Structure 1
Amino acid sequence: MVSTNQRAMKVVEELLENAEALGCKVVKLDCGATVIDLGLNCRGSWQAGVLFTRACIGDLGVVSLSDFKLNDQYSFAAVNVFIEQPLIACLGSQIAGWKLGEGEFATIGSGPARGIAHVASDWYFEMTDYKDDYDKAVLCIQDVKYPSNEIALEVANACHVKPEDTYILMSPSTCVAASIQVSARMLEQTCHKMFEKHFDPAQIVMIRGKAPIAPVVKDELKTMGRINDALIYGSEIEVWVDAEDKDIAKVIHQLAGKTSSPNYGELFEDVFKDAGCDFFYVDHDVHSVGKIQIHNVNTGRAYCAGEINYEALERSFLN
């Protein structure tokens, strides 16, 4: 079976070899682990964001940049992602499911290392039986501080690799690399919600998506709101499935925010504040995509739900 960590290491090597040109910073922890900073204490770059995304999906897809037209005056960059093995790339790697550390030192890990560790708390492996086995581990985190030696050792020990063979890619929300890699989670979000709505994501043949890259601002809360709004109101997904028409018709309106989210139309920053700035209290259906179309390879029928909500994006991106 394909190794997401082996594939991601090629991306890591590119980042290490071209760190200065990519606006990244390489930090060696005392334990020997390597941290690659893509925007906390460095400027980051568009290409760093693309590489961050490729690493996060185990380099099992095509990631590119394009354009998103908001209105007659404003347009933004967009990220396009094409994936053919979503159970591995999205659920076995990209989704953020590994809780690391405790208290103020806690963080959430995503990326290929999850597929080696398979920690009990990472329940997303209920959706896929993927298991990786490689002698190097690549983890991705989004945080406002570098991971500690303790975090790095926790990763190394869980993955049964040496600390010096542990690589952690990180960025805060307030940089372009983070904005790109969050918008690129539109497919992961769709696969996850399919599972929650009792549609087997193993039926996906191919999947692609596009979402605007939210303009960052130095305010962490405001940026977090924008990057989530980019997914909720600006993402557009195309899925090819091998399934029954009746099952597609039953699930598709449960996947789009317009027809499933109780908070549709509200900006994520406001929803998050109302939840006491605790993701645990945010309704799960808030995390939906903007527009989705599903094609059935069995019957040739197509289904569509949702919309691109330009008005919500204007409120989020321009104020």
Structure 2
Amino acid sequence: MTSVTPISVNASSEKLVARLVDHAARLNVQIARTDAGTVIVDAGVDALGSADAGLLIARICMGGLGRVTRRTTLEHAPLWPTCIDVQTSNPVLACLGSQYAGWSLSATKEQTGGKKFFSLGSGPARALAVKEPLFTELSYRDHHDRGALVMEVDRLPPQIVIDKVLNDCGLAPDKLTIAVTPTQSIAGTVQIVARVVEVALHKTHVLGVALDEIIEGSGSAPLPPPAPDGIQAMGRTNDAILYGGRVHLTVKRDATAKRLAAELPSSNARDYGRPFAEIFTSFNYDFYQIDAALFAPAEVWVSSLESGMTYHGGAVNKDLLDTQWLANGDA
């Protein structure tokens, strides 16, 4: 029997990380190195960043196992002029084993010597640290000697957090790259909207569906301009997926396809129908008070390999997006 070498999400994304660093000027990102050699990529804190940087960082986030592109849609009455398209033939590993923002990284103000720091780490370095119970369920751990992590935060990480990442990942300082993408930055907006398939995979996991049922995943979501206010920027990126995200999954069994088509869309949630920033504010900025069913794409198609049939559920909410994103709410 021929043995199969496990996929390394860090090795698969290594060339993409090198491209991000080597083409920093073209991508409008800034590169800094700690005294020990850890590379910090500023894609929106002090640097302007760019949509191209966001696309590349999104691919890095997926461990090099997905395609992420920007598409202009100027046909009659498009959902939005620009969309982000995502495709992966390794959806569970790319989305949950790498892209999912599940690693909590924090430091107190005493530890930083200034302000407290908090960020959820995403990207392939998560699979080196395996600090989340999810990796036990996935039965996956990466062992590459280089790693990349993405932080969606509006400041560069303090050394104490960098040291924690290095220690937990078992990396030499010069083998780690951290990209920082604030939500209210161009690159940050792109890489968050590019999570449209990941959001569907996470909701599938929350529903208790066996992850080995999922074979292929693709999706798209509209790309809004970032808002200068952090809460509004977060609202826009969530609304893009919750009210404008479209996902197509291929699964093994017919029963799974039927169930996901019915239960996956965000319209199943109690809190559906209001802009996310409004929902978040109404719950005193506590994510855990929001109905978890809301975190899902707006519309899904689920194809069954067993029957060859495709099941459809949900719908985009163009009116809500237009009201939030267009000047004067013009539709």
* Band of TM-score, shorter chain: over 0.9
Partner of 2:138: 128
Is 1:191 aligned to residue 191 of structure 2? no
Query: Is the CA contact (8 Å cut-off) linking 1:229 and 1:316 kept in structure 2?
Result: no
TM (norm. structure 1) is: 0.94
Is 1:62 aligned to residue 70 of structure 2? no
Query: Is the CA contact (8 Å cut-off) linking 2:79 and 2:222 kept in structure 1?
Result: no
* Code of the aligned partner of 2:269: S
Structure 2 SS opposite 1:228 = helix
* Code of the aligned partner of 1:34: V
Partner of 2:89: 84
Match of 1:99 among 99, 104, 110: 104
Is 1:288 aligned to residue 296 of structure 2? yes
How far residue 51 of structure 1 moved from its aligned partner, in angstroms, is: 0.4
* Code of the aligned partner of 2:89: E
TM (norm. structure 2) is: 0.91
Detail structure 1 runs of 4+ shifted over 4 Å in the superposition.
Answer: 68-74
How far residue 72 of structure 1 moved from its aligned partner, in angstroms, is: 4.4
Structure 2 SS opposite 1:277 = coil
Partner of 2:43: 38
How far residue 146 of structure 1 moved from its aligned partner, in angstroms, is: 0.2
Structure 2 vs 1, CA of residues 95 and 202 (structure 1 numbering), >3 Å: closer, same or farther?
Answer: same
Partner of 2:262: 253
Structure 2 SS opposite 1:266 = coil
Unaligned runs of 5+ in 2: 1-5, 109-115
Query: Is the CA contact (8 Å cut-off) linking 2:218 and 2:247 kept in structure 1?
Result: yes
How far residue 269 of structure 1 moved from its aligned partner, in angstroms, is: 0.3
Match of 1:5 among 6, 10, 15: 10
Partner of 1:113: 125
Partner of 2:220: 210
How far residue 71 of structure 1 moved from its aligned partner, in angstroms, is: 7.7
Name the Cα RMSD after superposition. Answer: 1.7
How far residue 32 of structure 1 moved from its aligned partner, in angstroms, is: 2.7
> CA offsets, 1:195-249, max 9 Å, x none?
1112112111111000111211211111110110001011111111111x23332
Query: Is the CA contact (8 Å cut-off) linking 1:31 and 1:153 kept in structure 2?
Result: no
Partner of 1:18: 23
Partner of 2:112: none
Identity %: 29
Task: Return the alpha-carbon distance in structure 2 between the equivalents of residues 247 and 8 of structure 1.
Answer: 31
Query: Is the CA contact (8 Å cut-off) linking 2:79 and 2:318 kept in structure 1?
Result: no
Structure 2 SS opposite 1:2 = coil
Is 1:161 aligned to residue 171 of structure 2? yes
> CA offsets, 1:94-141, max 9 Å, x none?
00111112342121100000101111xx23324411210011111011
Task: Return the alpha-carbon distance in structure 1 between the equivalents of residues 78 and 98 of structure 2.
Answer: 38
* Code of the aligned partner of 2:154: V
Partner of 2:184: 174
Task: Return the alpha-carbon distance in structure 1 between the equivalents of residues 157 and 136 of structure 2.
Answer: 27
Structure 2 SS opposite 1:138 = strand
